[in-house]
Amino acid sequence: MDLFGIITILIVLSALFGYINVRFIKLPVTIGLMVMAIIFSACMLLVNYFDPGLFHYAEDVIKQINFSDVLLNVMLSFLLFAGALHADGAWLKAESRTIMIFSLSGVIISTVFIAFMIYAAVQLAGLKLDIIYCMLFGALISPTDPIAVLGILTKANVPKKIEANIVGESLFNDGVAVVFFIVITDIIKKGISQVSFTDILLLFVQEALGGILFGLLLGYIMYRLMKSIDHYETEVMITLAVVMGGYYIASLLHVSGPLAMVVTGLYTGSRSKELAMSDTTALYVFKFWEMIDVIMNAVLFVLIGLHLLVLDFSIPYLLAGLLAIPIVLLSRYLSIKIPVLITGKLTGLHKKDQLLMVWGGLRGGLSIAMALSLSQSNAKDIIVFSTYIVVLFSILVQGLTVGRVAKKLYAS
- Residues 6 or more apart from 228 whose CB is under 8 A from it? none
Residue 348: per-residue pLDDT: 78
Q: Three-class SS of residue 147?
A: helix
Residue 142 sits in the same domain as residue 29: no
pLDDT of residue 149: 66
**Whether residue 52 is found in the same domain as residue 103:** no
Q: Which of 41, 63, 85 is the last residue of a domain?
A: 63
Domain that holds residue 377: 68-409
C-beta separation of 107 from 143 below 8 A: yes
Helix (H) or strand (E) run with residue 95 in it? none
**What is the structure's pLDDT at 265?**
96
Q: Are residues 48 and 78 in the same domain?
A: no
Alpha carbons 404 and 34: distance in angstroms, whole number: 20
d(CA 58, CA 74): 23
Which is nearest to 79 in space by CA: 300, 391, 231? 300
pLDDT confidence of residue 202: 93
- Give me the pLDDT at residue 77, please: 94
The whole-angstrom separation of Cα 61 and Cα 125 is 32
Statement to judge: residues 183 and 295 lie in one domain: yes
Judge if 150 and 58 occupy the same domain. Answer: no
Find how far residue 106's CA is from the centre of its chain: 15
Per-residue pLDDT of the chain (412 residues; tens, 9 = 90+): 788 998 999 999 999 999 999 999 998 888 899 999 999 999 988 988 888 888 888 889 898 998 899 999 889 999 999 999 988 888 888 888 889 888 999 999 999 999 999 999 999 999 999 999 999 999 999 999 866 666 667 666 778 888 888 889 988 998 999 999 999 999 998 888 788 889 889 999 999 999 999 999 999 999 999 999 999 999 999 999 999 999 999 999 999 999 999 999 999 999 999 999 999 999 999 999 999 999 998 999 999 999 888 888 899 999 999 999 999 999 999 999 999 998 877 777 889 999 999 999 999 889 999 999 998 888 999 999 999 999 999 999 998 898 889 888 887 6
Same domain, residue pair 107 and 50: no
The pLDDT of residue 22: 95
DSSP readout, 335-404? Answer: HHHHHHHHHGGGS---HHHHHHHHHT----HHHHHHHHTSPSSHHHHHHHHHHHHHHHHIIIIIHHHHHH
CB 8: neighbour CB atoms within 10 A?
A: 12
Supply the pLDDT for residue 5: 92
User: What's the pLDDT at 236?
Assistant: 97
Whether 27 and 52 map to the same domain: the answer is yes
Q: Using the CB atoms, write b or e for 129-149: b if 16+ within 10 Å.
A: beeebbbbbbbbbbbbbbbbb
Q: Are 302 and 37 in contact (CB under 8 A)?
A: yes
Q: What is the pLDDT of residue 403?
A: 85
Number of domains comprising the chain: 2
- Domain identity same for 168 and 22: no
**Identity (one letter) of the amino acid at 80?**
L
pLDDT for position 317: 95
Is residue 125 exposed (0-12), middle (13-18) or buried (19+ Cβ within 10 Å)? buried
Instruction: Give the domain-ending residue among 11, 44, 63.
Output: 63
Q: Do 48 and 77 reside in the same domain of the chain?
A: no
403 closest CA partner among 27, 24, 25, 149: 149
Task: Say whether 412 sits in a helix, a strand or coil.
Answer: coil
36's CB contacts (< 8 A; 6+ apart) are: 17, 20, 21, 25, 302, 305
